[in-house]
Structure 1
Amino acid sequence: MVLAELGRKITSALRSLGNATVINEDVLNSLLKEVCTALIEADVNIRLVKQLRENVRSQIDFDEMAAGLNKRKMIQSALFRELVRLVDPQVKAWQPHKGSSNVIMFVGLQGSGKTTTATKLAFYYQRKGWKTCLICADTYRAGAFDQLKQNATKARIPYYGSYTETDPVVIARDGVKKFEEENFDVIIVDTSGRHKQEDSLFEEMLQVSNAIGPDQVIYVMDASIGQACEAQASAFKSKVDVSSVIITKLDGHARGGGALSAVAATHSPIIFIGTGEHIEDFEQFRVQPFVQKLLGLGDLEGLVERVNELKLDENEELMKKLRQGVFTLRNMYEQFQNILKIGSFSQVLSAIPGLGQDLLTNDQVTMNIVEKLGFEESLDRLMSEYLSFRLKRRVEGIRRLVHRRLQGDLLDRGFAPSIYSH
């Protein structure tokens, strides 16, 4: 994630604080200067940066500080609290409820990744045991239904859409009615986007919203626009009841910090962040763990949760084989694939305290990925060659058997061996 660069700079500033022999005003000023510079480079609004600086300074008074207090820890704690406040909208996010159909409507500009994110959200809840589905109410963009259909099919998620109906209101209403009758838990409706905030987009959003009565309206925004997210989110909130935000493409843009802080300034809860192009590259946004990972402090709670979701000990067939002392190459390969569902190596390392920032240079991440892919490829090739060899031997055996029987039949009929021998 490009935000890791912001984390490295802040961590470097904190390391300088830790190495200082005397903690005084000069050390504090140097720390705040480095941190504020890093935030501004990440496109955080300068007004918010100044506010963070003032809040930290107001909490640290060296003249009034008791002699026995740990000044380093006080400064670190103050900075941590203000970084949390910077990206915390202080609004509780809506949560779906079991036992009823939860209708979620996606809105946003074209190109923000709405359709892909809708699939990621459906897949996220599906992995947690919810019955999820997707509805394509985007009749504006060519190929929108094809994209959603392809994504949903790959993730094995039921979907609804139409190649003939041009009214998004009709599609959304009919799709929601269908899936509600089939008792789906989470119904996600993907709506049309535009290249800019057009009146027609807002009008269509209102019509669809009035027709389906969503329990939650999620605004999907691209992290690359940085602090401009604040104006966009405010514009959408003024037209439709946006209850939460998902920020996409945080893995590829240095302005992600600006996007996060800008959305928080609108008091719209950020519920998820997109961290890659794969369907698993999707994380629930929790403020304190996010800041902890940013500073290299890890998120062991989140890591344990992701490991538990894999349910590696619930594979009865595998457990039976293990009790019998049988563990084949194919079993090993399948378990390796399951473990990779936890996330990329960089995501796993960022959740471990002390490893997140120091070990995640681009070269090291690339090396880890190459090693992982090389191992997968070797296993795949080895399994393929082994199976091909077994199949080839079996086919050759059948061919020889047929050949011998044909040879005997021809001899019985008086034909010379040279006619059929190879």
Structure 2
Amino acid sequence: MVLSDLGRRINAAVTDLTRSQNLDEKAFESMLKELCNALVSADVNIRLVQQLRKSIKAKVDFKNLPPTTNANSKKRLIQQAVFDHLVDLVDPHAEPYKPKKGRSNVIMFVGLQGAGKTTTCTKLARHYAQRGFKACLVCADTFRAGAYDQLKQNATKAKIPYYGSLTQTDPSIVAAEGVARFKKEKFEIIIVDTSGRHRQEADLFAEMEQVQSAIKPDQTIMVLDGTIGQAAESQSSAFKSTANFGAIIITKTDGGAAGGGAISAVAATHTPIIFLGTGEHMLDLERFAPKPFISKLLGYGDMSGLIEHVQAVTKDNASAKETYKHISEGIFTLRDLKSQITNVMKMGPLSKVAGMIPGMSNMMAGMDDEDGSTKMKRMIYIFDSMTEKELDSDGKMLIQQPSRMTRIAHGSGTSVREVKDLLTQAKMMAGFAKNMGGQKKNMQRAEAMMKGGNKQQQMAAMQKRMASMGGQAPGAGGRGGMPDMGKMMQMLQGMGGGAGAAGSSAGGMPDLAGMDMNALMQQMGGMMGTGRGRGR
């Protein structure tokens, strides 16, 4: 994404400091200098950078630290200070409008031409439609030639109802007619796309005010081009004074520009960013929240965002449900592996998925998305050359009968080496699934024991169960007490498909979300690093 280089530089500066043998004030100042240089290079307003530097220095005051403070405590203090103040930088401490089901929510889009308003309108409509809202689009852009055709094409592709006119030139009339029609038809999300210009001008602002008066939107969203640099601050301020928007969507965050100017726009207008446009496809719209964003930026991952993304691409997927059912029972077939790879391919470029997983963004540095995608496609070719019996097996029959591997390699246009590598990955994943199934059974036994019996016996038995699961014994953790069994049971429900799985609307977590995603991506990383057969 746009700010990935900024994240790497900040992460490197903090990591170098925390690994330093001499964690003194001089080293701290050097880290702060690199952090501020990175932010300025990314087009973040210099005033904000100076304010950030001052705040971090106030939080980490070396002169007033107790003499007994050890190096590890200093490291944690510095890391937390950097994280907290970067979060403050992108957090306006203002809540955006939240659409309500069962009523019409009118959302109006504003912004300059070329920022990606029309595409983003469709992405947002699709986002809400996937979450059970009855969503539609209204094209009130009568200024740009082809605007209605573009919205019509996007809406048709996304299967979203739309309204517009090729003859009416007054945008406020088109907007009012469209909103009135969709309100009558009980639509819950009515998104109105408006005209833009190549630059700020009186006609544009007058038109926005007229459309706002005609439709009285519940929310006005400004679409901001993430590549325009420090101009973002003045641009957003001008729109704020006229349209008084309540939220920002930053587009083109998959480019190579600095992009920090968009952060400055948040501070200038005290308006929350609600989504980031991360590509041209309809699914390339990420929900924005300050803490997960900074966490991902610094390489700490965004598991909540990953789970939401997984749920979006695996929704109503019968094979995904079957796979997570198998995993919860300790079973893993070649068909299950094919399902996993297919779902990962649906999630978009590997670099995008990796950014949500702690540590994976650094592992993916320099890896070509196209190369990774090609290798996964070759794996699918291998699966497609297998018989039904082979797909429903654990792969042992192929190893025991090498002629099967030769046949599959010829049929898929790959090599026997690639088939063997794929079977090796399947074996590793099968072992992982077996462990997951064993953990579930251990937890079920533990839960049954907790319902009755002597407390001391329960504690002793639980220690043994935790040890068998590879966990810490009570007392070895942070506060010397028992693990939070409630959380563990919730985790178990997520793995086993219980109704309490985090945020799942389909009776449980989809297969990928129910697994250890870090382990899964390491397995996928193994696949990407193998299978270098010549093919045809």
Q: Is the TM-score greater than 0.5?
A: yes
2:7 is matched with which residue?
7
Listed one character per residue, the Cα deviations across residues 6-51 of structure 1 (whole Å, up to 9, x for unaligned) are 1111111112112211211111011011111111111111111111
Query: In the alignment, residue 228 of structure 1 is paired with which amino acid?
Result: A
- 1:263 Cα deviation (Å)? 2.5
- Which of these residues, 136, 140, 144, is aligned with residue 141 of structure 1? 144
Q: Do residues 365 (structure 1) and 369 (structure 2) align?
A: yes
Q: Do residues 231 (structure 1) and 234 (structure 2) align?
A: yes
Aligned pair in 2 of structure 1 residues 181, 37: CA closer, same or farther (>3 Å)? same
Instruction: Note the 1:68-79 alignment, pairs <5 A.
Output: 68-69=68-69, 70-79=73-82
SS in 2 for 1:134: strand
SS in 1 for 2:150: helix
Query: In the alignment, residue 276 of structure 1 is paired with which amino acid?
Result: G
- 1:2 Cα deviation (Å)? 3.0
1:352 is matched with which residue?
357
Percent of matched pairs sharing the same residue: 51
Q: d(CA) in 2 for partners of 1:142 and 1:334?
A: 43
Query: In the alignment, residue 64 of structure 2 is paired with which amino acid?
Result: E
Aligned pair in 2 of structure 1 residues 373, 277: CA closer, same or farther (>3 Å)? farther
Give ranges in structure 1 of 5+ residues lacking alignment.
Answer: 384-422
Bigger shift: residues 141-150 or 86-95: 86-95
Q: Do residues 214 (structure 1) and 212 (structure 2) align?
A: no
1:173 is matched with which residue?
176
Q: d(CA) in 1 for partners of 2:321 and 2:303?
A: 27
Count matched residues: 380
Query: In the alignment, residue 56 of structure 1 is paired with which amino acid?
Result: I
Q: d(CA) in 1 for partners of 2:157 and 2:382?
A: 25
- 1:82 Cα deviation (Å)? 1.1
- 1:312 Cα deviation (Å)? 5.2
Asked whether the 8 Å contact 1:44–1:262 carries over to 2, the reply is no
Aligned pair in 2 of structure 1 residues 234, 377: CA closer, same or farther (>3 Å)? farther
Query: In the alignment, residue 236 of structure 2 is paired with which amino acid?
Result: A
2:31 is matched with which residue?
31
- Which of these residues, 129, 133, 138, is aligned with residue 126 of structure 1? 129
Give ranges in structure 2 of 5+ residues lacking alignment.
Answer: 388-536
Q: d(CA) in 2 for partners of 1:334 and 1:21?
A: 47
1:187 is matched with which residue?
190
- 1:302 Cα deviation (Å)? 1.7
TM-score by length of 1: 0.83
Q: Do residues 16 (structure 1) and 16 (structure 2) align?
A: yes
Aligned pair in 2 of structure 1 residues 208, 374: CA closer, same or farther (>3 Å)? farther
Query: In the alignment, residue 268 of structure 2 is paired with which amino acid?
Result: A
Q: d(CA) in 1 for partners of 2:26 and 2:334?
A: 62
Aligned pair in 2 of structure 1 residues 316, 382: CA closer, same or farther (>3 Å)? closer
- Which of these residues, 325, 340, 343, is aligned with residue 345 of structure 2? 340
Q: d(CA) in 2 for partners of 1:262 and 1:229?
A: 6
Q: d(CA) in 2 for partners of 1:125 and 1:49?
A: 36
Listed one character per residue, the Cα deviations across residues 266-324 of structure 1 (whole Å, up to 9, x for unaligned) are 2011111111111111111100000000100011122122223345576399859x99x
Query: In the alignment, residue 198 of structure 1 is paired with which amino acid?
Result: E
Q: d(CA) in 2 for partners of 1:109 and 1:300?
A: 33
1:198 is matched with which residue?
201
- Which of these residues, 78, 81, 95, is aligned with residue 92 of structure 1? 95
2:310 is matched with which residue?
307
1:407 is matched with which residue?
none
SS in 1 for 2:282: coil
2:258 is matched with which residue?
255
1:64 is matched with which residue?
64
SS in 2 for 1:224: coil
SS in 1 for 2:136: strand
Listed one character per residue, the Cα deviations across residues 64-110 of structure 1 (whole Å, up to 9, x for unaligned) are 21234311111111111111111111211111111101000001110
- Which of these residues, 149, 153, 156, is aligned with residue 156 of structure 2? 153
SS in 2 for 1:110: coil
Q: d(CA) in 2 for partners of 1:366 and 1:9?
A: 25
Query: In the alignment, residue 369 of structure 2 is paired with which amino acid?
Result: V
Aligned pair in 2 of structure 1 residues 179, 379: CA closer, same or farther (>3 Å)? farther
- 1:382 Cα deviation (Å)? 10
2:53 is matched with which residue?
53
Q: d(CA) in 2 for partners of 1:104 and 1:121?
A: 10
Aligned pair in 2 of structure 1 residues 370, 67: CA closer, same or farther (>3 Å)? farther
Aligned pair in 2 of structure 1 residues 328, 364: CA closer, same or farther (>3 Å)? closer
SS in 1 for 2:64: coil
Instruction: Note the 1:80-119 alignment, pairs <5 A.
Output: 80-119=83-122
Q: d(CA) in 2 for partners of 1:237 and 1:179?
A: 27
Asked whether the 8 Å contact 2:249–2:277 carries over to 1, the reply is yes
